């Protein structure tokens, strides 16, 4: 059985003090981890104090990015080794903002996925979908399949089981216009089929695939009711503790 994940992605928001206050406000109101796994991705500066504040609670703290080398002359980058040692065991990689604003390509994201796994981190790999809202199926299939083949290239069966994928149509991110559940399911299904072609049925049935893009307390239930949607990645509506709790406890 795939335990669903509900993960917030704060992006470049919140001070350290605000981050810790948020954790303290929600940590006693989360579902048991055998029902839903709750996580928050936060800016690097907030991670260590958040890990301390969340200690003993079901909440997992995630990085929003890391580099593909463990240490060295890489000014400004975040080491996957240092993250793991600091108690941060999950990392978002390949978010569409990293791809679009910071120019990360599939090759770099694949290196980051490999480095994260090498250091014990579980990556949430974002598979953006830059195609328009309604495009020819073939284009969409090629796009999503290409992303998955490139970003997850060379992973072993054990490694791929530690990966979570998030399907995020670009036009739905931050737009207030979520994919409808059947469109979201279509993208997540395609990703699962691609993993099935790469690793077989058993592995594909174990890997969790999330939907992300304008998830709210009002649409989360319908999205998560779909077969291939194992949870959600939430941007804007993860910034307010009460709204985030409504999504987590929907
Ligand atoms: P959004 O962001 O919920 O604000 O659309 C989602 C994301 O960027 O992962």
Residue 134: pLDDT band with limits 50, 70, 90: very low
* Other residues' Cβ atoms within 10 Å of the Cβ of residue 137: 11
Of 235, 240, 247, the one to substitute when testing ligand 1's pocket (max ligand atoms within 8 A of C-beta) is 235
Does position 14 have pLDDT exceeding 70, yes or no?
Answer: yes
pLDDT for res 140: 57
CA distance 167 to 140: 12
Mean pLDDT of 10-16: 98
What is the model's pLDDT at position 137? 55
The predicted model scores a pTM of 0.96
* Beta strands, E only, the chain: 5-9, 37-42, 60-63, 90-93, 122-129, 164-169, 208-212, 231-234
Long-range contacts of 193-196 (CB under 8 A, 24+ apart): 194/144, 194/145, 194/148, 194/149, 195/148, 195/152, 195/160, 195/165
Percent of the chain predicted with pLDDT > 90? 91
- In the three-class reduction of DSSP (H, G, I as helix; E, B as strand; rest coil), residue 250 is classed as coil
Question: CB under 6 Å to ligand 1: residues?
Answer: 9, 168, 173-174, 212-215, 233-237
Give the atom of ligand 1 at the shortest distance from the alpha carbon of 176.
5
Q: Which atom of ligand 1 is nearest to the CA of 126?
A: 9
* Residue-averaged pLDDT of the chain: 94
Q: What is the pLDDT of residues 179-223, one digit of tens each?
A: 999 999 999 999 999 999 999 999 999 999 999 999 999 999 999
Determine what percent of the chain is predicted with pLDDT higher than 70.
95
* 154-186 pLDDT, tens digit each: 999 999 999 999 999 999 999 999 999 999 999
């Amino acid at each position: 059985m795939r335990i669903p994940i509900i993960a917030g992605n704060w992006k470049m928001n919140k001070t350290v003090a605000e981050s810790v206050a948020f954790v303290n406000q929600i940590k006693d109101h989360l579902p048991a981890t055998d029902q839903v796994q709750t996580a928050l991705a936060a800016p690097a500066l907030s991670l260590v104090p958040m890990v301390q504040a969340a200690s003993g609670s079901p909440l997992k703290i995630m990085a929003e990015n890391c580099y593909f080398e463990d240490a060295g002359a890489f000014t400004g980058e975040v080491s996957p080794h240092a993250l793991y040692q600091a108690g941060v065991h999950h990392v978002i990689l390949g978010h569409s903002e990293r791809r679009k604003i910071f120019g990360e390509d599939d090759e770099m994201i694949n290196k980051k996925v490999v480095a994260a796994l090498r250091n014990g981190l579980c990556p949430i790999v974002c598979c953006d979908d830059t195609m328009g809202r309604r495009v020819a199926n073939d284009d969409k299939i090629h796009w999503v399949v290409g992303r998955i083949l490139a970003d997850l290239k060379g992973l072993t069966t054990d490694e791929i089981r530690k990966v979570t994928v998030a399907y995020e149509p670009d036009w739905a991110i931050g737009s207030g216009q979520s994919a409808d559940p059947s469109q979201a399911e279509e993208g997540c299904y395609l990703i699962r089929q691609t993993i099935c072609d790469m690793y077989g049925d058993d592995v594909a049935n174990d890997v969790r695939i999330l939907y992300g893009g304008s998830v709210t307390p009002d649409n989360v239930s319908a999205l998560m009711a779909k077969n291939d949607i194992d949870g959600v990645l939430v941007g804007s509506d993860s910034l307010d503790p009460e709204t985030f709790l409504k999504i987590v406890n929907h």
